[in-house]
Amino acid sequence: MTAALKVVRAGLFDTLQDLGRVGFMALGMPTAGAMDRVALRLANALLGNPAGTAGLEIGVMGPDLLVEADSVRVALVGPISPALIEGPDTPPKALETDRTHLLKRGQVLRVGMVEGSSTAYLAVAGGFALPSFMGSLSTYARAGVGGFEGRKLAAGDALPLSLEQAPPGDDRKLGAPFDYGSGPVRIVWGPQEEYFTAAGRNIFVGSDYRVSREADRMGIRFEGPTIAHATSVEKGGADIISDGIGPGAIQVPGAGLPIVLLADRQTVGGYPKIATVASVDLPRLGRLLPGQTVRFQPVTVEEAEKLRRDQESRIARAIADFKVARPPGGIDLARLYEENLIDGVVYERSPG
């Protein structure tokens, strides 16, 4: 019998994603990959997987997964409230997130809602036993390639596991939730900032913009003050000769409202790009929901590079600070042994 996680109830938009399909944009193939690469990397690190192992990206609401294996160890990272269902007549038992859990055959993991965010991640020890496409397991649903049959998960799907049972060892958890930062989203001007008026650029970085309902893995269309394009003969209008689009590129079409392009972005485009989101803040964009507001703040290329290096150092510290996690409802013997359980000793002389 092949070890698997079976979808007994589908979530809203759950797809397999790794760190992306790199090297094929010249052929018109988008990179896809995790919207929040930090969370996926932490989930894999908790399990001892390579950083690029594909995991399940949970979009807004996750699935119910039946364990069809002797055992499997999963890691859940992100703002979710998972639960474990032991049997048909057993009420769900709440589980912690930002840690691993050892699951047994017949149990059902209810991944639950993603609270205040659009994405969370589930990884499994050893990864999923699925064929790669162009060197990646990332799902690009628009073309129907990668992941599980090139699409989001549906009820009845069985995700094959690479391991028949969980490897030995303790469960682990993050020492503290990872800090993604707050405040304005940092951007680097360009590559076509000269296609916009000085007033338009000032409006862009001086205004609040709200995430519209047109937000998905391809990009986020923002609502707010319009940004004026330049009108000179050389640099004017809302059209350019199509060129390559990197992660976080911010296009501004003729309507004057910014669109931030994300994991499933097209490879080329013909609208001018006023700026590009610094890579340090891309995971934050992957967590935004419609109605939330952001402000953009320009930084230099050198500042953006330093912010990214600092983030890598924080990821390394978070991994080094993993803790042993006690089983749900159980006793953490390691912590217990560390405590001084004897407050004092009283000797009593026996009579006589």
**C-alpha span between 116 and 50 (Å, rounded):** 28
CA distances from 256 to 152, 203, 210, 289 (A): 33, 11, 14, 21
Question: Element (H or E) spanning 38, and its range?
Answer: helix 37-47
Beta strands in 216-286 (DSSP E): 219-223, 243-244, 249-251, 259-261, 268-269, 273-277
**C-alpha span between 130 and 343 (Å, rounded):** 56
Question: Element (H or E) spanning 303, and its range?
Answer: helix 301-320
Report pLDDT for 90.
Answer: 86
Instruction: Spell out the domains of the chain, with CATH numbers in brackets.
Output: 4-176 (no CATH), 185-308 (2.40.100.10)
Which residues in the chain land under pLDDT 70?
1, 232-236, 328-352
Query: Contact 133/145 with Cβ under 8 angstroms?
Result: yes
Sheet holding 158-160, edge to edge: 93-94, 83-85, 108-110, 64-68, 4-9, 158-160
Report pLDDT for 172.
Answer: 97
Structure pTM? Answer: 0.90
Q: Residue with structure tokens 């409230």?
A: 81
Beta bridge partners of 210: 223, 293
For residue 100, which phi and psi values (nearest 5 degrees)? -100, 160
Query: Contact 128/47 with Cβ under 8 angstroms?
Result: no
Query: Contact 170/325 with Cβ under 8 angstroms?
Result: yes
**C-alpha span between 53 and 61 (Å, rounded):** 22
